[in-house]
Copies of this chain bind each other. A is one copy, B any other.
Amino acid sequence: MAGDGVDQRALQYEQTLMYGRYTQELGVYAKEEAARLREGGQRRSVGRSLDLLEYDKGRCAKCRICTVRCQKFLISRVGEDWIFLILLGLLMALVSWAVDFCIAICLQAQKWMYGGLDSNVFLQYLAWVTYPVVLITFSAGFTQILAPQAVGSGIPEMKTILRGVVLKEYLTFKTFVAKVIGLTCALGSGMPLGKEGPFVHIASLCAALLSRFMSLFGGIYENESRNIEMLAAACAVGVGCCFAAPIGGVLFSIEVTSTFFAVRNYWRGFFAATFSAFIFRVLAVWNRDEETITALFKTRFRLDFPFDLQELPAFAVIGIASGFGGALFVYLNRLIVQFIRKQKAINKFLMKKRLLYPALVTLLVSTLTFPPGFGQFMAGKLTQKEALVTLLDNRTWAKQGIAEDFDYLGHLQAWQHPQVNVFVTLVLFIVMKFWMSALATTIPVPCGAFMPVFVIGAAFGRLVGESMAAWFPDGIHTDGVIYPIVPGGYAVVGAAALSGAVTHTVSTAVIVFELTGQISHILPVMIAVILANAVAQSLQPSLYDSIIRIKKLPYLPELGWGHHEKYNIRVEDIMVRDVRYITLNCCYRDLHNVLLTGNLKTLALVESAESMILLGSIERAQLQALLSQQLGRARRMEYIRENAMAFKKCMSDPESPPPPPPVEDTNSQQRHSTQEVRFQITTEESTLSPTRPTPQKPLKPALKRPSVVDRPPEILTANNDNSGIALKNLFCANPDAEAVEDDGDTEDDMTIREIAEWEEQQLDEQVNFSNCKIDPAPFQLVERTSLHKTHTIFSLLGLDHAYVTSIGRLIGVVSLKELRKAIEGSVTVKGTKVRPPLASFRDSGTSSSENEATELHKLWDRHKSMSLPREHTQSDSDEKSQ
């Protein structure tokens, strides 16, 4: 579920909080941590066995050993994956059940209030409207205050996290609380919102917290890849326990969050999701809601003849229409977000009154669904669940002459209106709910869009089904036996198709089977879902990808199927040839310059500028730390101390030669280091030798700016204990600020000028990489690696960038950006990704209508010049389409 929480406020904090740190960077830390833990573990076990030996001397030694062993056994068991998964499943089932229970109470309360005030329509209206407004406003405010990360669906973020990106503060306890309470209130308001997406996030939160909790017992060995595996399983649990659909949950979570999937995670997901769904349904039985374990929205279609073969075209039509509808929904959702973001006046106003937007939207939606008002024409009385149950009903609503003893009983009454046909009610329901859902999912509360879309799809299917039933009152079958058409089956097909189109998944088919408890309509559902996907995928990205783009999270677009030209593009066509690198024997000045000019997260380390043999890659932060160390205050102090010592020694023992000066500029240094000379120099202005050929500009000391928000945390920690000028220059935002200020921490005995000189000199030293963490095997590609393979490798390994080498020599670099450009290529119009099969039709249609000779000419030109990667993509696709 998604589409959500993308209002101006949400967008603001994302830019500051949600920047991605790739695990490639974290890998090094993780390894060190692992080594530390392992050593720790060994030491600990030594200690333990010594303890045991001591116990042996005691009286009831055996007994004690036994106890210790049992304890150890239990603790070691706690670390087992399957215990973890069972606990996760149990927890999530409880959470899901509790949330459902609270939502049901909230909705009942609204109905009770509304029902109790039936004497006065105005009071009724007030109650009907105020209640959701209060709940939504509370939900928005609560999440805003406690954890703004809890806003929205969660699936886009989980996709990003499983891609290997670390989103800050995204898996904390605060977020958990905010998400659960926020979701309960939001859904309790009766707005067209879903719980699926948030449940994926909640399950991931549970997994992360549980993992942390269980590591207290010591059993678990914390590991990056294991965490990712557990999160993948958690996503499956989230969907599984939300719909009591373990298989569909696993598949849906795979389709929605992964590009590549490990079969062993699939196992984990199945295990946990089944357990969770089981407990979730058992809770319903224990609570006396159900007699036994059955499906959530059980249907009772006939088994012997579920549908006629001749009905298949109607199902196909549902599929295609749902495809267009799904694409429209995604577009509408994005349009609303972009509209609000663009209108500066609205934006500013809403920024100030953050809770106004949710309140206004809720007011609008609930006013329109007010049952005595417009709501009477669109079954506004029904909650989402009730609407779904009625839509999947077994019976035919549209009575066509044939006396079917069918009264609109219970909730079905809502669809009946004395003046208006049931077809009109259904159309109104679909149209109104469509834009309402698209609008409601932009409210900054924890919410998803799956369930609303599912209900709209069911209504659309029902509409087609009722029309079919009206058209063929005796069924289509001609062999004598009358098999009337079952509109409920159409509703199932429509629900699966529309939700599949919006999320770009085919597993919604499995979800509907598990939700309804019937699989008899498998072929119509599959056909409709596949057609809907084909149409929707060629028009718009999925809702989750759309949100990823809106939120500017890092992503890698998928390769469409059938894009043959992708097999023809090579890495050499898209790579950046101007690679920033450092050499093994470079000096700190080079380091400084490199850090100043680029802003890549990692830098290539080559043997020498001549050989260009790639030795590894170093993180930017590591280099910054190296530089900090070299120019840091601690080192300067030491230098001063040493010089002072040397001077003293020199004074006390005049025969001995003066200590060897560290670098060339010995005179000034020696002068600096002593008290009297220092004094002398501070008054002097022209000590800096003008013959020195160093570039002055990067060394100009900059203002120490108060804003530190923009700096990554590593720099902050590395930076907080030194006052180096060059460093500041490096870390501060605008190095062209000329003002030379005393920083207030020149309490060490050097003036700024002295420091600058000392730093100059330090910068000329050769870099000592021995304490630096180097990644000795960054991922390498070859010039001729195809784009297809590159994409596969990037998505398989979750890479951020890869170096291109030719027999060990570094010749280029490809990052996610280049790859993204190359894949989206020419078809990136207005931020949407256009995909086959329809896209491929269109491409070839347009290009073949152009002058082919011209294209060929262009193509050859491009091939010779090897210019921009983007153009190359185009040219390659042109070549293909000729």
A517 at the binding interface (Cβ < 8 Å): yes
Residue in contact with A561 in the complex, picked from B267, B282, B879, B881, CB distance below 8 Å: B267
A601 at the binding interface (Cβ < 8 Å): no
Report chain B residues within 8 Å CB of A523.
Answer: 274, 277-278, 281, 293
A48 at the binding interface (Cβ < 8 Å): yes
Contact segment of A435-443, A544-552, A787-795: A787-795
Report chain B residues within 8 Å CB of A298.
Answer: 303
Bound CA–CA A675/B233 (angstroms): 80
A841-882 vs B, CB cutoff 8 Å, 1 = contact: the mask equals 000100010001100100100010000000000000001111
Q: Which of A265-280 contact B (CB under 8 A)?
A: 266-268, 270-271, 274, 277-278
On whether the beta carbons of A616 and B879 are closer than 8 Å, the reply is: no
Residue in contact with A807 in the complex, picked from B221, B285, B776, B789, CB distance below 8 Å: B776
Bound CA–CA A449/B792 (angstroms): 34
A247 at the binding interface (Cβ < 8 Å): yes
A122 at the binding interface (Cβ < 8 Å): no
Contact segment of A304-312, A420-428, A574-582: A304-312
A514 at the binding interface (Cβ < 8 Å): yes
On whether the beta carbons of A274 and B520 are closer than 8 Å, the reply is: no
Bound CA–CA A881/B774 (angstroms): 33
On whether the beta carbons of B294 and A309 are closer than 8 Å, the reply is: no
Contact segment of A77-85, A106-114, A686-694, A744-752: A77-85
On whether the beta carbons of B520 and A520 are closer than 8 Å, the reply is: no
Report chain B residues within 8 Å CB of A879.
Answer: 41-42, 45
Q: Which of A236-273 contact B (CB under 8 A)?
A: 246-247, 251, 254-255, 258-264, 266-268, 270-271
Contact segment of A344-352, A505-513, A676-684: A505-513
Interface residues of A (CB under 8 A from B): 31, 34-35, 38, 41-42, 45-46, 48-49, 52-53, 69, 72-73, 76, 79-82, 220-221, 223, 225-226, 246-247, 251, 254-255, 258-264, 266-268, 270-271, 274, 277-278, 281-282, 285, 291-295, 298, 300, 303-309, 477, 479, 506, 509-510, 513-514, 517-520, 522-523, 526-527, 530, 533-534, 558-559, 561-562, 564, 567-568, 605, 607, 613-616, 774-777, 780-782, 784-786, 788-789, 792-793, 796-797, 805-808, 836-837, 840, 844, 848, 852-853, 856, 859, 863, 879-882
6 contacts between A and B (CB under 8 A): A52-B853, A73-B844, A259-B262, A292-B306, A518-B518, A613-B615
Besides the contacts A221-B567, A255-B263, what 18 more A-B pairs have beta carbons closer than 8 Å? A38-B568, A45-B879, A48-B882, A73-B848, A76-B880, A76-B881, A79-B564, A80-B836, A80-B837, A223-B788, A259-B264, A260-B263, A262-B792, A278-B526, A293-B307, A294-B520, A510-B510, A513-B519
The 7 A-B residue pairs with the shortest CB-CB distance, nearest first, are A615-B808, A777-B780, A81-B562, A274-B526, A519-B519, A776-B807, A223-B567
